[in-house]
Structure 1
Amino acid sequence: MNELAELAGIAGSTITNLMVTDAWLALRTGLIGLWQRVMPGQADTITADLDALQATVTAAHANRDQSVTEAVQQNLQQRIAWLLLQDPAVAEELRQLLADPPRGAHSRHIEQHVSHSGTGDAFVAGGDITVNR
């Protein structure tokens, strides 16, 4: 396996894994930027396809459907391989993007301090919380 094919395989897996994280939107922006430079005529198509693939992975993740996730990984691997064939020079930028996805506008730092005394409950969450009694 050559270096670019190996990178495409790593990229397919990494991108798929990051689709269900807070890093996704920033990574998506970086990937679209690569396509816009290398294959500008396909930038709109890849944008729509990435959105559809992300929705598919999110549903598969919720349903614990590993076969769908693997299919998306393979799809992305092929797309990235094609991108790298068109311009092997973007390999280093892709490596950087995967190793350190840019922090998007949706990234945030949350710091919470809680103290509680006496009776009763204290609930702390950095996101949604459900309490059943």
Structure 2
Amino acid sequence: MDPVAASVAATLFSAVATDSWEAAKSAVVALWRRTVPEQAELVESDLVLAERRLVTARPEQAALVGDLVLAEWQARLQLLLLAHPEVSGRLARFADGEWGGDEGDSRRTGSVSMSARSADSSKIFQAGGDLHVHG
């Protein structure tokens, strides 16, 4: 088992009962949406189910349920890494609890082609996404 996959799974599910759960869940779903888009909805519903299992587990079964959920997501993350090694850096940041995205809105797809021509002292501002101009 890749230590990054194991660490991400542990960090992800340690966030379940905290304020960071929604950010963690959204970050994992966004990563899947970028990497394996056809699985993103399933991953999201499975994360919701995993959360529900952890929260509603009877006290005498909580440890076992936690271990099983953790093992399932370690395996899923390991399979993602095997198929898409390019996500290892992003997963490493997840393992450190850095759920914020630095890769833009995960719903954006496609490509952008732009061209512009400037004359005199005009200014041209182009962006394929958000554009913030100050000053």
Contact 1:38-1:86 at 8 Å conserved across structures: no
TM-score relative to the length of structure 1: 0.68
Q: CA deviation at 1:13?
A: 1.4
Residue identity opposite 2:42 in structure 1: T
Encode CA deviations 1:65-84: one digit per residue, 9 max, x unaligned. 11110100000001100111
Q: Paired residue for 1:129?
A: none
3-state SS of the aligned residue for 1:56?
helix
Match for residue 16 of structure 1?
13
Alignment partners' CA distance in 1, 2:53 and 2:94: 22
**Which digits, 9 at most, give the CA deviation of each residue in 1:4-57, with x for residues without a partner?**
x11111112111111121100001111001101111110111011010001111
Alpha-carbon distance, 1:59 to partner: 1.8
Q: TM-score, normalization: structure 2?
A: 0.67
Please give the residue correspondences for 1:1-133 in structure 2 after superposition, counting only pairs within 5 Å. 5-60=2-57, 63=59, 65-99=62-96, 100-102=98-100
Runs of 4+ in 1 over 6 A off after TM superposition: none
- The offset of 1:101, in angstroms, is 2.9
Question: d(CA) in 2 for partners of 1:96 and 1:31?
Answer: 11
Code of the residue aligned with 2:99 in structure 1: it is P
**Distance in 2 of aligned mates of 1:92 and 1:59:** 33
Percentage of pairs with the same residue: 26
**Considering only aligned residues, what root-mean-square deviation do their CA atoms show, in Å?**
1.8
Are the equivalent residues in 1 in contact too, given 2:32–2:39 (CA < 8 A)? yes
Aligned residue pairs, count: 99
CA distance in 1, matches of 2:12, 2:56: 16
Q: d(CA) in 2 for partners of 1:52 and 1:9?
A: 19
Preserved contact between residue 5 and residue 91 of structure 2 (Cα < 8 Å) = no
Following superposition, the deviation at residue 85 of structure 1 comes to 1.1
